[in-house]
A = this chain, B = another copy of it.
Amino acid sequence: MSSYQRSCLIRGDGGRAIRGILDRIGDKWTLLVVATLDGDRMRFTELQRRIPGISQRMLTRTLRHLERDGLVEREVFAEVPPRVEYSLTDTGATLIGPAVTLAEWAIEQNPTIERSQGEYDARRGGRD
């Protein structure tokens, strides 16, 4: 199947499918949280420790969204002090593959892209 025909999957219904997934994972922290949970069950603080720079607020929000989408499972233990553990669901685990594919592309193309950016900026001489 040619790339041309496959790209119809993106344009598909006016881009609703791709828009949906980007709304879901295109934000600042979602993919990082998913990748961090990959293979490990983990509690809130541990998660925050492993994701440098994320605030409590954003970690909470990101986890709630993922839970709502059924990609992450949240388990509360009735203890004092409270303990909450997060893990990927089976559905959530299936996201790793496509995400890694994208990351590989990013890593591979990054030098080329940065060089292009440099040339572009040089051409426009720092205006803008």
Contacts and interface: CB of A to CB of B under 8 A. Distances in A.
A19 interface: yes
Interface of A: 2-4, 6-12, 14-15, 17-22, 24-28, 31-32, 34-36, 38-39, 51-53, 67-71, 91, 93-107, 109-110, 112-113, 115-117, 120-121
A101 B19 CA distance: 14
Of A28, A52, A70, the most chain B CB neighbours within 10 A belong to A70
A39 B9 contact: no
A8 B94 CA distance: 15
A109 B96 contact: no
B7 A32 contact: no
A112 B19 CA distance: 17
Given A31-B15, A70-B113, A3 B39 contact: yes
A47 B70 CA distance: 36
B12 A103 contact: yes
A120 B73 CA distance: 12
